[in-house]
């Protein structure tokens, strides 16, 4: 006897196509033109900030930087779908989300200048700090989601991972926990096509990354990750289901890493311009601009004014970030809830020997 | 041929792959990209993707797969992209790679060379600058080496490839391209378990390794003291003889390392000297190390890593006794 015991399908959805045309049937009821305009401005801001930090890095005014250009729709769309009680569990390429959540701009910049003070999370921003080792944040996401349910906060979790990160054990373990314990965790797989030099097709034999959800007993879907409205709609619905019924799920957003992995690598080593070319017309910002222009809501003058205003804000924040005075004592003060005597001794010795002065001059 | 540490390591792996068809390189971005520091550059072109393997992004499986390959007769040379990410494979290294030989009474040894860049000083992001030599030295079963020169890097790598043990091969990022030196084009071995005397001296001994070797050399040169400088090269097993010999010779010992002070490699070295050469000392042993804290973000690393001034202050202190 043979019978079919499992069937799963992965649906792909898109609300706004690359020409700015809307699929009326899928268009979410809570979105109007003023909100689309807001999405547009947030995406433009994320891109302007990205260009700024990249240029600071090239001038030696920022540390190794991970650009997010091309991925604005996934990040802004998802962030705008979050409710006030929802919690973000980010990876490291997440400044579009942080911006849309209202994370202080100067702290985002300070982070890329290499100071822990940038990760001091403001009380009103519900997020964990960035996580660098890839996918290690995912079990935290399951834990934060368990806490939302246990503490009855009424919030859900938006946990974030890249395409490469879905190969890590932590990814499977986290979504499996979420499925087993039915906790309100929505996982975004920001599939930008590349894990440094390894393309998505070589990362796994699986046809989609979303289908990995089935192994955890939860649902998985794909969405055009360059369609800000499509991402918004998918994440909004998923977070609502998570909040009201503790239904975890996985949303794979198909986007593209238009730039390098970080400023430390050279994509010319491993990919061709012809790999990137098909993604140019799929730009997440361009399609919204086409839509807004077709509605008579946007034009060249408005674009120029927006660019100027955003750059002004960014430059002001850079100035604040660059005025930050590091205090190495902070390294010692924040390691434990108390100061061990032997650590105090190390701190006193460093101060007495005045060797931080030379360190500063280096 | 003049080589920096990157070219010396690349040359060593090239020769190992050339001479041992059971050898493979595996890791994240080691193929087409040639590794994030270009240490495996060009190898995939020469040996193909079955021998220079771009793995999925999953560190635990990189080491776990290497254990399996090795147990089945291959010689894997896995690369973990950064020392901080190697902790994701800690269980495979500690629970399996380190124990296979002893728990099978040597019937299934798992020779492999686990390469990873270590230590800081080059303003990298979080988890890219750790100095983890003691984690792997503490358990037994893993050989841990850390070269500070291109010559030692190649020779230790060749030696490791001819051993029947899992070798954790730590490569100081800061020294990758710091300087070039003459490196023989033939395959040669640098002994594992043997320290080198970088500078002979009579007044004091400085025992160090990795990124701190050039810092110590500069500090000693500027102070003009007659210091003996020992580069451990192998962290486990320690060259205890070299340590005790220099301690007995000068009677003054400073241990300098970038790993943090508390439970760092200096603790083991100082303990062995205290046990076996205490009465030959003229002054208490000093340790110069990073603060007993998690490695900070890059903006603070200069305040964290020992610098020449800190070494010079220790020299003054020990010479004043």
Domain boundaries of chain B, sorted by first residue: 2-182, 196-319
d(CA B115, CA B81): 8
Evaluate whether A83 touches A30 at the Cβ level (below 8 Å): no
- Classify domain B2-182 at the CATH class level: alpha beta
Helices A33-58, A228-245: inter-axial angle, 10-degree rounding? 100
Contact (Cβ atoms closer than 8 angstroms) between residue B63 and residue B97 = yes
**Catalytic entry in A61, A115, A172, A270:** A270
Same structural domain for residues A205 and A159? yes
Does A7 reside within a domain? Answer: no
Interface test with B, best of A113, A174, A331 (most B CBs within 10 A): A331
- The single residue listed with the structure tokens 């519900």 is A126
Question: How far does B146 lie from chain A, in Å, by closest CA?
Answer: 23
Q: Give the separation between CA B34 and CA B10, rounded to whole angstroms.
A: 10
Q: Which residues of chain B lie closer than 8 angstroms to A262, CB-CB?
A: 125
pLDDT at A310: 98
Mean pLDDT of all residues in B230-234: 98
| CB contacts, 8 Å: B310 with chain A | 353, 355
B125–A63 CB contact, under 8 Å? yes
List the one residue out of A173, A225, A164, A223 whose CA is nearest residue A196.
Answer: A164
Question: Which of A120, A133, A343 to substitute to test the interface with B, most B CBs within 10 Å?
Answer: A133
> Do residue A165 and residue A240 come from a single domain?
yes
- Which residues of chain B have a CB within 8 Å of the CB of A355? 307, 309-310, 313
Verify that A231 and A308 share a domain, yes or no: yes
Rg, C-alpha atoms of chain B: 19
Cα separation, A37 vs A289, in Å, equals: 9
A291 is a catalytic site residue: no
Contact A295, A37 (CB under 8 A): no
CB contact under 8 A, B28 and A196: yes
Q: Which member of B96, B127, B128, B209 is catalytic? A: B128
Question: Containing H/E element for B311?
Answer: helix B308-319
Residue of chain B whose alpha carbon sits nearest to that of A130: B126
Contact at 8 Å (CB) between A255 and A71? yes
pLDDT score recorded for residue A181: 98
- Give the integer Cα–Cα distance in Å for A54 and A60: 10
Ramachandran quadrant class, A80 (left: phi over 0; alpha: psi -120 to 50; beta: rest): alpha
Least Cα separation, residue A52 to chain B (angstroms):
19
Same domain, A355 and A245: no
> For B27-62, b where at least 16 C-beta lie within 10 A, e where not — what string?
bbbbbbbbbbbbbbbebbeebeeebbbbbbbbbbbb
Same domain (yes/no): A108, A215: yes
Q: A20 and A73 in contact (C-beta within 8 Å)?
A: no
Indicate whether A52 and A102 sit together in one domain: yes
CB distance A74 to A231 below 8 Å: yes
Cβ within 8 Å, pair A350-B291: yes
- Non-local (6+) Cβ contacts of B178 within 8 A are B4, B5, B214
∠ at Cα B263 (B260, B266), nearest 5°? Answer: 75
- Helix ranges, B56-189 (H): 59-71, 90-91, 100-103, 133-137, 150-161
Residues in B closer than 8 angstroms to A335, CB to CB, are: 293-294
pLDDT of residue A356: 86
Nearest to B202 by CA among B228, B181, B179: B228
Q: Tell me what pLDDT residue B30 has.
A: 98
SS3 B214: helix
- A1 within domain boundaries: no
Cβ contact B187:B159 at 8 Å:
no
Question: Can you give the pLDDT at residue A358?
Answer: 75
* CB-CB neighbors (< 8 A) of A133 in chain B: 84-85, 87-88, 127
Residue B2 tokens, joined: 């003049």
Contact A331 B304 (CB under 8 A): yes
Question: Which residue of chain A is at minimal alpha-carbon distance from B261?
Answer: A346
Q: Are residues A182 and A158 in the same domain?
A: yes
Residue A303 is assigned to a structural domain of this protein: yes
The residue-averaged pLDDT of B246-252 equals: 98
Q: In terms of domains, do A106 and A205 share one?
A: yes
Check CB contact under 8 Å for B85 and A355. Answer: no
Tokens of B58: 């999953």
Mutate to test the interface with B, among A168, A334, A343 (most CBs of B within 10 A): A168
CB neighbour list of residue B129: distance below 8 Å, 6 or more residues apart? B83, B84, B119, B120, B121, B122, B173, B295, B298, B301
Count of domains in chain A?
A: 2
Confidence of residue B134 (pLDDT cuts 50, 70, 90): very high
Nearest CB neighbour to A326, from listed B29, B87, B300: B300
Q: Closest approach of chain B CAs to the CA of A170, in angstroms?
A: 9
Residue A102's region, left for phi above 0, alpha for psi from -120 to 50, else beta, is left
Contacts of B61 in chain A (CB under 8 A): 169
Task: State which residues form the domain around A101.
Answer: 12-323
Domain B196-319 has CATH 3.40.50.920: yes
At A254 the three-state DSSP class reads strand
The single-letter DSSP state of residue A334 is: T
Instruction: Say if the Cβ atoms of B56 and A198 lie within 8 Å.
Output: yes
Residue carrying the six token digits 């089935």: A214
For residue A9, give every residue at least 6 positions away whose Cβ sits within 8 Å of its Cβ, in sequence order, or none.
none
Confidence (pLDDT) at A353: 87
For chain A, state the CA radius of gyration: 22
The answer on pLDDT for B119 being more than 80 is: yes
Given A116, A347, A353, which is nearest B297 (Cβ)?
A: A116
Whether A298 and A339 share a structural domain:
no
Residue A254: CATH number of its domain: 3.40.50.970
Return the C-alpha torsion angle A289, A293, A299, A305, nearest 10.
-40
Residues A308 and A336 in one domain: no
Distances (CA, A) of B191 to B26, B156, B196, B241: 25, 7, 10, 14
Q: What is the mean pLDDT of each run of 10 residues along chain A (362 residues)?
A: 96 98 97 98 98 97 97 98 98 94 96 96 96 97 98 98 98 98 98 97 97 98 98 98 98 97 94 95 98 98 98 98 96 97 96 82 68
B128 is catalytic: yes
Between helix A228-245 and helix A72-81 the angle, nearest 10°, is: 40
B196-319 shares the fold of B2-182: yes
Residue A3 domain-assigned (yes or no): no
Are B303 and A360 a contacting pair at CB < 8 A? yes
Rounded CA-CA distance B288/B266 in Å is 8
Which position among A257, A282, A287, A289 bears the catalytic label?
A257
């Amino acid at each position: 006897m043979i019978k079919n015991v499992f069937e799963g399908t992965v649906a792909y959805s898109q609300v706004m196509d690359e020409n700015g045309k809307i699929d009326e049937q899928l268009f979410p009821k809570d979105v109007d033109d003023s909100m689309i305009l807001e999405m547009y401005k947030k995406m433009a801001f994320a891109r302007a900030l990205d260009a700024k930090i990249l240029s600071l890095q090239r001038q030696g005014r920022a540390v190794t930087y991970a650009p997010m250009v091309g991925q604005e729709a996934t990040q802004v769309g998802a962030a705008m779908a979050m409710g006030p009680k929802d919690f973000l569990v980010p990876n490291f390429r997440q400044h579009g989300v942080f911006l849309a959540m209202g994370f202080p701009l100067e702290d985002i910049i300070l982070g890329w200048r290499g100071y822990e003070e940038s990760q001091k999370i403001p009380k009103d921003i519900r997020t964990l700090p960035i996580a660098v080792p890839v996918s290690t944040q995912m079990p935290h996401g399951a834990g934060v989601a368990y806490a939302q349910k246990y503490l009855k906060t009424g919030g859900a979790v938006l946990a974030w991972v890249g395409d490469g990160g879905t190969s890590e054990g932590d990814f499977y373990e986290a979504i499996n926990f979420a499925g087993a314990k039915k906790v309100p965790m929505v996982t975004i797989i920001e599939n930008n096509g590349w894990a440094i030099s390894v393309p998505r097709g070589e990362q796994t034999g699986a046809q989609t990354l979303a289908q990995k959800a089935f192994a955890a007993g939860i649902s998985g879907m794909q969405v055009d990750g360059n369609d800000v409205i499509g991402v918004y709609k998918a994440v909004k619905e998923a977070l609502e289901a998570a909040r009201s019924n503790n239904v975890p799920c996985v949303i794979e957003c198909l986007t593209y890493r238009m730039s390098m992995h970080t400023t430390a690598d050279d994509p010319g080593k491993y990919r061709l311009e012809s790999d990137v070319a098909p993604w140019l017309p799929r730009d997440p910002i361009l399609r919204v601009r086409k839509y807004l222009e077709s509605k008579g809501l946007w034009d060249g003058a408005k674009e120029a004014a927006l660019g100027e205003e955003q750059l002004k804000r960014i430059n002001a924040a850079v100035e604040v970030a660059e005025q930050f005075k590091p205090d190495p004592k902070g390294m010692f003060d924040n390691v434990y809830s108390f100061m061990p005597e032997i650590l105090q001794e190390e701190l006193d010795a460093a101060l007495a020997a005045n060797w931080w002065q030379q360190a500063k001059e280096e | 041929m003049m080589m920096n540490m990157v070219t010396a390591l690349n040359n060593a792996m090239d020769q190992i792959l050339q001479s041992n068809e059971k050898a493979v390189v595996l890791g994240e971005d080691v193929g087409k990209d040639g590794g994030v520091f270009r240490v495996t550059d060009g190898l995939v072109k020469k040996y193909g993707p079955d021998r220079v393997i771009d793995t999925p992004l999953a560190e635990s499986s990189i080491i776990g797969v290497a254990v399996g390959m090795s147990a089945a007769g291959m010689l894997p040379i896995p690369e973990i992209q950064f020392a901080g990410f190697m902790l994701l494979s800690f269980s495979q290294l500690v629970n399996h790679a380190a124990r296979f030989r002893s728990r099978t009474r040597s019937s299934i040894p798992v020779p492999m060379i686990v390469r990873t860049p270590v230590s800081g000083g080059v303003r990298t992001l979080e988890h890219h600058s750790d100095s983890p030599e003691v984690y792997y030295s503490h358990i037994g079963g893993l050989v841990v080496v850390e070269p500070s020169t291109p010559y030692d890097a190649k020779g230790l790598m060749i030696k490791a490839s001819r051993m029947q043990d899992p070798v954790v091969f730590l490569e100081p990022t800061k020294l990758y391209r710091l300087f070039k030196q003459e490196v023989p084009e033939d395959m040669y071995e640098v002994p594992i378990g043997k320290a080198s005397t970088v500078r002979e001296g009579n007044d004091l001994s400085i025992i160090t390794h990795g990124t701190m070797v050039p810092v110590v050399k500069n500090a000693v040169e500027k102070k003009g003291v007659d210091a003996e400088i020992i580069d451990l090269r192998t962290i486990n097993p320690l060259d205890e003889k070299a340590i005790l010999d220099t301690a007995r010779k000068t009677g003054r010992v400073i241990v300098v390392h970038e790993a943090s002070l508390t439970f760092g490699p200096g603790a083991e070295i100082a303990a062995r000297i205290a046990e076996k050469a205490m009465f030959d000392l003229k002054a208490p042993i000093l340790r110069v190390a990073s603060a007993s804290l998690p490695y900070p973000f890059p903006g603070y690393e200069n305040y964290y890593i020992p610098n020449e001034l800190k070494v010079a202050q220790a020299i003054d202190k020990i010479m004043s006794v």
